[in-house]
């Protein structure tokens, strides 16, 4: 990134770099590589930056303003991952318990009665 570079210029630079890398990697012409890059989610996001409402802002200032938002999104994603991992562990524990539990109602009822006697 260059000093006082605009968001649109930064997006164009990144798109060109990605297209060049793809063309080198695949051997396809640069124009085809650029079309392929523009069809990806990242390419569409960069196109949105290039053409969007922030295109004339200085890229460094714009990125500085986005850093706290990105950090918040990363924290939320980590929290969701931990919650999901916790649910998976709980489900696994429940499954393990259910596999170890008696299968017949009579067996379960007998255990309930014997437990009740010790209360």
Cβ atoms of 62 and 54 closer than 8 Å: yes
Total residue count of the chain as it appears in this document: 119
Q: Give the per-residue pLDDT at 23.
A: 95
Q: What is the pLDDT of residues 43-102, one digit of tens each?
A: 998 888 888 887 777 666 666 666 677 778 888 888 888 888 888 888 888 888 878 876
Structural tokens at position 68: 């706290």
For 23, residues 6+ apart whose C-beta sits below 8 A from its C-beta are 29, 30, 32, 33
Q: Give the per-residue pLDDT at 90.
A: 87
Q: Give the per-residue pLDDT at 69.
A: 73
Q: Give the per-residue pLDDT at 1.
A: 47
């Amino acid at each position: 990134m260059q000093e006082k570079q605009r968001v649109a210029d930064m997006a164009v630079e990144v798109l060109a770099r990605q297209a060049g890398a793809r063309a080198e990697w695949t051997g396809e012409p640069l124009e085809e590589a650029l079309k392929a890059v523009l069809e990806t989610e990242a390419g569409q996001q960069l196109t949105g930056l290039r053409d969007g409402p922030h295109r004339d802002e200085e890229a460094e200032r714009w990125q500085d303003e986005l850093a706290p938002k990105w950090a918040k999104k990363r924290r939320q994603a980590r929290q969701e991952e931990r919650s999901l991992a916790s649910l998976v562990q709980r489900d696994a524990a429940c499954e393990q318990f259910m596999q170890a539990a008696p299968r017949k109602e009579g067996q379960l009822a007998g255990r309930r009665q014997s437990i009740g006697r010790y209360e």
